[in-house]
Amino acid sequence: MRTALCISGSDPTGGAGLQLDLQVCRAFGVHGMGVPTALTIQDTHRVHRVLPSFPSVVLDQIRVLLADIRPDAIKIGMLATDDVARSVLLALEAIDPEEVPIVLDPVLAASDGTPLLEPRAWAALRSLCGRARLVTPNRIEAERLTGCDTTSDRGAEEAARRLLGDLGARAVLVKGGHRAGSPRDLLVAAGENGPATRWLEGERIAGDPVHGTGCALASAVAAGLARGGTLEEAVSHAHGFVREAIAGAESVGAGARILKF
Ligand code: PLP
pLDDT at 243: 95
CB of 66 closer than 6 angstroms to any ligand 1 atom: no
The one-letter amino acid code at 239 reads H
End-to-end CA distance of the chain: 21
Centre a 10 Å sphere on the Cβ of residue 203 and count the other Cβ atoms it contains.
10
Ligand 1 atom closest to Cα of 78?
5
Over its length of 261 residues, how does the chain's per-residue pLDDT go in tens digits? 999 999 999 999 999 999 999 999 999 999 999 999 999 999 999 999 999 999 999 999 999 999 999 999 999 999 999 999 999 999 999 999 999 999 999 999 999 999 999 999 999 999 999 999 999 999 999 999 999 999 999 999 999 999 999 999 999 999 987 776 678 899 999 999 999 999 998 888 888 999 999 999 999 999 999 999 999 999 999 999 999 999 999 999 999 999 999
CB of 114 closer than 6 angstroms to any ligand 1 atom: no
Torsion angle of the four alpha carbons 93, 96, 97, 99, in this order, in degrees rounded to the nearest 10 = -150
Cα 42 from Cα 36, distance rounded (Å): 15
Strands of 73-76's sheet in order across: 47-52, 31-42, 3-10, 73-76, 102-104, 134-135, 171-174, 185-189, 196-200
CB of 212 closer than 6 angstroms to any ligand 1 atom: yes
CB of 141 closer than 6 angstroms to any ligand 1 atom: no
pTM equals: 0.97
